[in-house]
Amino acid sequence: MSGPHPPRFLLVFDFDETIVDENSDDSVLRGRALPEPLRLSPGGSYNEHMQRALAFLGEQGVRPAELRAVYENIPLSPGMAELFQLLSKHQELFELVLISDANTFGIEAKLRAAGARSLFRKVFSNPASFDRRGVLTLGPYHSHKCLQCPANMCKRKILGEYLAERAREDVEFQRVFYVGDGANDFCPAGTLTAADVAFPRKGYPMHRLIQESQEKQPGAFQAAVVPWESAVEVARYLQELLRRKC
């Protein structure tokens, strides 16, 4: 007997200002009395800046439970709960992964609090864990050679490697859907084909960069583009797809 059919569609999510309605780093630092060097524009990479900021919080006595509560209480973006409800009903069709320049601790905490962790096959983010002192330590995800992306993460590389890994496992997706908002989501979305769909959050950097690309080089950005203000719009698009396909 043959095994279950592999999922037809890959759905890729960003986290900050996509799944949740804030930048989770800002949420953690909000209201904290940071020293002046940590309030100014970060020297070096942003990932290194957050390493220093989280270390400072730990040294000031901010405990793991307090940080977990902050992440758990970040609001979901409009319509995201409804989108998750739809996807939970069609897990045999959609494979979900999350690619984010936030951190694994915060993302895992929020997804579990939202009852959505089981929807995601993989979470790709900067590694974060508590050391013996209870300080949340943060690292870079990887190194890469992409000139468009921050030194610690190229989402295009992560997505490409994931698709290659799944292909070796005999899983070939009919279509890839990418839901994001930031400039670092434009890079991986540029690898999508004409069969795929980019869902940029309306008015955010990913949306503006796609529009600029389409104006400068019509046809260079191949994927269909469906901007959203509420993730309900993403859910409606996918529901219509299912009505046509299933």
Specify whether 170 is catalytic. no
The pair phi, psi for residue 99, each rounded to 5°, is -125, 115
Was 185 annotated as part of a binding site? Answer: no
Was 196 annotated as part of a binding site? Answer: no
Distances from the Cα of 106 to the Cα of 90, 101, 144, angstroms: 26, 11, 24
**Which one of the listed residues 16, 26, 185, 196 is annotated catalytic?**
16
User: What span, in angstroms and rounded, lies between the C-alpha atoms of 229 and 140?
Assistant: 31
Say if CB 81 and CB 105 are below 8 A apart: no
**Which one of the listed residues 14, 21, 131, 196 is annotated catalytic?**
14
Rounded CA Rg of the chain? 19
Was 131 annotated as part of a binding site? Answer: no
User: What span, in angstroms and rounded, lies between the C-alpha atoms of 41 and 33?
Assistant: 16
CA neighbor of 84 nearest in space, from 64, 61, 50, 110 = 110
Specify whether 196 is catalytic. no
Structure tokens at 150: 């921050």
User: How many residues comprise the chain?
Assistant: 246
Say if CB 138 and CB 127 are below 8 A apart: yes
Supply the DSSP symbol for 162: H
User: What span, in angstroms and rounded, lies between the C-alpha atoms of 12 and 159?
Assistant: 9
Structure tokens at 18: 């996509």
Structure tokens at 161: 């490697």
User: What span, in angstroms and rounded, lies between the C-alpha atoms of 99 and 185?
Assistant: 9
Was 16 annotated as part of a binding site? Answer: yes
Residues recognised as catalytic: 14, 16
Which residue numbers belong to the known binding site for Mg(2+)? Answer: 14, 16, 181
Which residue numbers belong to the known binding site? Answer: 14, 16, 25, 101, 181
Which residue numbers belong to the known binding site for substrate? Answer: 25, 101
